[in-house]
Structure 1
Amino acid sequence: MLSHGGFAQSGKALYTNPVGVQAYTFRESWPKGIEATLDTIQSFGITEMEGGPLNGMSTEELRKQLDKRGIKMKSIGADYKMLAASTDETIKNAKILGAEYVMVAWIPHEKTFDLETAKKAVEDFNRSGKILKENGITLCYHTHGFEFVPYADGTLFDYIVKNTNPEYVSFEMDILWVAFPGQDPAKLLTKYGNRWKLMHLKDLKKGVKGDLSGGTPTTNDVALGTGSIDIPAVLKAAKKAGIKHYFIEDESPSYIKQIPVTIAYIKGLKE
């Protein structure tokens, strides 16, 4: 029997990692109550998170609340400009929360991402990544779709990967933001192997036409397995690449309904 990804099913679970979530998914929920939101996350069986400090609660208290619920904050986000200026605050927050990874989700740029911006990003990532590594933390740049501008025999994303030091800079694949501009997430995972450390699990509504903007209406985020991305192929390639942590990121207004569907889907996949 063949699965959606065209692989023979062995009966063994394809997805065997803990289920994680990106805190941004719950951006409408946090202001209404941090502890209540953490209870909801725990009720989904989620045990890992990517996020960082939250407004309305000290970072030390947040760590206590996470520990109480058996949730580990494996990765925190950092603003590109703040991190380029100083790593101190990021390192402090990562240590308090027990995070091993710091991810940057956006490189500020003019309307079109260009080579000059990519060169500056390489320089900033190499410098910040070195300091983070000296503090036991891995820097990951998160794909956002605008980096796939054609360049040389590939794209500006290829340029960033090839020119950042693998010792100091790794990557987080957001599979929607790789698929949206027309790239193949499974192929890109295979191409760069262990440069990838983290993943955002996301699916794109069927029939959506993508581009290089790095933006799409949030209603185009759908539960995994109901969209246009070949999730089994991605997870198979991710396993081979050695992805360490997976975070569901659902930006849609229906995230509370969609997350259980996503979790049931990935847990039900067979190799």
Structure 2
Amino acid sequence: MNRRTFLYTGGMLAASASAMAATIAGRTKPAPGIQLYMVKEDMERDPIGTLKQLGAMGYTQIESYGSDKGIFWGKTNTEFKKIATGFGLNLVSTHYNPCTLPEFDKLAAQAAEVGMKYLVCPWLGPQKSIETFKTFADDFNKRGAICKKHGLRFGYHPHDYPYKPVNGQLPIDVLLAGTDKELVDFQMDVYYTVTEGADPYAYITKHKGRFKLAHMRDVLKKRLPAGSKDESACDMGEGIIDFKKFISVGQDNGMRYFFVEQSRFFHETPLQSAQKNAAYLKRLKLV
């Protein structure tokens, strides 16, 4: 290799390294989040004590849900926000129970008042006709407009059924096509995407900017039989999903919020599982 070739090659390598460093530096380290439904029994018994434990584990973001005590757990929106903040937890989003548009408007106003970012529809249920999912898409657009009016965003959380064909079409594809990207985002549950045989990275990249939130739990290496009473879920890092890749690809394509949500517990309590998952996220050391 002559001097000119050496200098050129060295320069190219340096430029490549610099570009890579810039890319890494430009990616914000994801805040560790948790869906409160994962520790629902603990929240029902002692919501304040449970939030304190989650904050001590290192979680900094939480997503609530429509509990029997409401998304603010028997408190006003400002009271609950203050309690969570006191334990280092930012209330980013919530799943909500089915409600009319006027009720949803009121909820959106309460969420916006305390700086929340998202209201998320957690469930539609399997349907016999793909046309029903088209009506759901129309409803999502209406709710998205309500959220936009209040300065927050609307999201939908697909479970397993949107990846199962209905009348020859996948509901997830119909919902993505039928919703206005200016009004409706999606929350990928990577567990269901993988267990249903779909490619999470293909969806994230093809629909760049649509999947803004994620739920994370791992998939057992030795899958349980189809129709098994127990799900094939396990703690992060104990299954087949490469979460470092998932989070990195997600962030590069507009994903901003990552929530741990385990549903199957082996020889541990939900809070012990939450601790294990928090420790795993720390070990990833994502920049």
Provide the TM-score with structure 1 as the length reference.
0.83
Paired with 2:224 and 2:154, the residues of 1 have a C-alpha distance of 31
State which of 122, 125, 135 in structure 2 corresponds to 1:120: 135
- Higher mean C-alpha deviation, range 70-79 or range 261-270: 261-270
Please tell me the residue identity of whatever aligns with 2:186.
F
Q: Which runs of 5+ in 1 are unaligned?
A: 1-9
**Aligned-pair CA distance for 1:259:** 2.4
Paired with 2:52 and 2:154, the residues of 1 have a C-alpha distance of 29
Paired with 1:206 and 1:216, the residues of 2 have a C-alpha distance of 17
Could you say which residue in structure 1 is the equivalent of 2:234? 222
Conserved 8 A contact 2:109-2:150: no
Could you say which residue in structure 1 is the equivalent of 2:219? 204
Identity fraction in percent: 25
**Aligned-pair CA distance for 1:246:** 0.8
Paired with 2:139 and 2:124, the residues of 1 have a C-alpha distance of 10
Paired with 1:124 and 1:217, the residues of 2 have a C-alpha distance of 33
Could you say which residue in structure 2 is the equivalent of 1:157? 172
- Equivalent residues in 2 for 1:1-271 (5 A)? 16-52=29-65, 53-79=71-97, 81-84=98-101, 86-110=103-127, 114-150=129-165, 155-208=170-223, 217=230, 220-253=232-265, 254=268, 255-269=270-284
The structure where helix makes up a greater share of residues is 2
Conserved 8 A contact 2:204-2:253: yes
Please tell me the residue identity of whatever aligns with 1:105.
P
Q: Which runs of 5+ in 2 are unaligned?
A: 1-20, 66-70
The structure with higher relative contact order (CA 8 Å, sep 6+) is 1
Please tell me the residue identity of whatever aligns with 2:86.
K
Paired with 2:82 and 2:283, the residues of 1 have a C-alpha distance of 32
Residue-pair matches, total:
256
Paired with 1:204 and 1:122, the residues of 2 have a C-alpha distance of 29
Paired with 1:246 and 1:18, the residues of 2 have a C-alpha distance of 7
Provide the TM-score with structure 2 as the length reference.
0.79
Give the alignment's Cα RMSD to 1 decimal. 2.8
Paired with 1:178 and 1:84, the residues of 2 have a C-alpha distance of 29
**Aligned-pair CA distance for 1:84:** 4.8
Q: Larger Rg: 1 or 2?
A: 2
Please tell me the residue identity of whatever aligns with 2:248.
K
